[in-house]
Structures are given as structure tokens and as C-alpha cells.
Amino acid sequence: MFKMSPKNFFPLIVGAGVIALAANLTLPNPSHRSAVGAAQQSNPERLEQLRRMITEEIGKPLASNPSQCKLIAFGSKPCGGPATYLVYSTVKTNESRLTQLVSEYNERQKKYNEERGVISDCMFVTEPKVELAGGVCKIKPESGRLP
């Protein structure tokens, strides 16, 4: 049977943390203990369900005019602020329904992060610009970025 000594275990933990940060993922903080009961905790299955519903609501963001292309802040970083932005078309998407779904998702993710002591890189996510390209709303590539 393979035994792992603390001396060998530490590099694995550090390495996993570095990989997760490099991939812009979040890791739960194992030392965090929540006093919230299981019935009151956020529901990861509901988060996934909301994500699917949001993706379906947005669909392919087709538009004929750039003014029909919009952004919505999505997710909640543990340090605050949105995790990313989603682009959608006002032609295709029911904005009030999308706003409702994203709002619930963001609140539940924030609660999930708090309950589990999730950590992240805490980098500020700037709001991107959108463009209409080939009849589809897209996030503009960053200026000055190498291909």
C-alpha cells in the first residue's frame, strides 16, 4: 500500500492550487466550516440547471443591428464582481426572463462561494465591448492582443 507523507503531500496541494488558478477555476477552502444547515445551503444542481436555462434562453445571439447586441454580468467571484459577461441579442432573447435567471444564478453562486469558502484569483473582470459580426452578436477581441 502506498503511503503519502506530509512532506510529499504538500507539493501536490500547491501544484493543484497553481493549476486551478492558472485555469481560472475556484477551489473550496477546506478549513472553512459553515454553520448553515444543509436545507439552507445553495444547491449545486440548481446552479447547473440555471446555467442550462440561461444558455437556452440566449441561444445563438442573431441580430441585424449592433444596438440589438447586449451584455449581462454572469456569475459571482468570491472576491466580488462578476465572473464573466454573456453576450445576447434582444431579437432572440427575452430580456426580463434572462435577467431573472441570471440574477438567481448570481445570488446562488455567491451563496455557494460563501458557504464553502471558495477562493479565486480576485482579478477584476472588465466589461467587454460587443460587436455584430456576420449577423451574430459577439464579444469584441481585445485590442492589442496577439492572435
Reference 123, options 2, 25, 9, 18; nearest CA is: 25
- Residue 11: CB atoms within 10 Å: 9
**Residue 107 domain boundaries:** 41-139
Q: What's the structural domain count of the chain?
A: 1
Q: Which helix (H) or strand (E) holds 108?
A: helix 95-116
Residue 146 lies in a domain: no
Residue 24 lies in a domain: no
pTM for the whole thing? 0.68
pLDDT at position 142: 76
pLDDT at position 43: 86
Cβ-in-10-Å burial (0-12, 13-18, 19+) of 105 comes to: buried
CA–CA separation, 106 and 111 (whole Å):
9
Residue 79 lies in a domain: yes
Q: Residue 59: which region, alpha, beta or left (left: phi > 0; alpha: psi -120 to 50)?
A: left
- pLDDT lower than 70: segments of the chain: 1-42, 143-147
pLDDT at position 1: 41
Residue 80 lies in a domain: yes
pLDDT at position 42: 61
